[in-house]
Amino acid sequence: MRRRGLYALVASALVVAMLGSASLAAAKVHRLFEPAPERVPTGLQVDEDEWSVTPSRVTVAADPTGQVNFSIFNRGEDDHDFAVLDAQGQVRKIDLGPGARGDLAAALAPGQNKIWCNLPGHEALGMVGYITVVDQYDAVYAAWEAEIERMLGRAQ
């Protein structure tokens, strides 16, 4: 009988200990530094229709080969094309019929870049948009490094 009571007491203590450790695990974990931000995507999707050009995101970075990758879909009922000015000043474009999809990769200059339908009159009707190309290192690590400097007391 005493042995059964001892087992019950030990079992109760184990349950309390497990519940206590579970609540500690659910508590907020403090850390010295925030983790590095996620990498900026190197590609985007672009939808075209009458009369708009809609990028899936407005900030991208070049991939390791220096290219920004576009996946374009013409959701309109008319022919369209997709155009972008590359870093060398050349217009890169792809023609898309109604319902067509295509891919285009182009080396783009950092900063704001215009994307548009280059068919006569389409840009004037609103088929134009803008994306910002950022340096992957700057976009991913600048805020993280600033936080480290602040934590170390070196921020100005």
CATH number of the domain where residue 104 is located: 2.60.40.420
- Residue 13 resides in a domain: no
- Residue 121 resides in a domain: yes
Establish whether the linkage from the previous residue to 51 is cis, with ω within 30° of 0: yes
- Residue 105 resides in a domain: yes
- Residue 76 resides in a domain: yes
DSSP lists the bridge partners of residue 47 as 54, 73
- The reported pTM is 0.65
Mean model confidence pLDDT for the chain: 81
> What is the rounded average pLDDT of the residues 123-152?
77
- Residue 108 resides in a domain: yes
State the pLDDT at residue 152.
79
Q: In whole angstroms, what is the distance from residue 53 CA to residue 57 CA?
A: 12
Domain count for the chain: 1
- Please say if the pLDDT value at position 6 is more than 90: no
Q: The tokens of 37 are what?
A: 């931000």
What's the pLDDT band for 20 if we cut at 50, 70, 90?
A: low
- Residue 37 resides in a domain: no
Domain of 111? 43-142
- Residue 11 resides in a domain: no
- Residue 153 resides in a domain: no
> Which H or E element spans position 137?
helix 136-151
Strands of the 52-55 sheet, one edge to the other: 52-55, 43-49, 68-74, 101-106
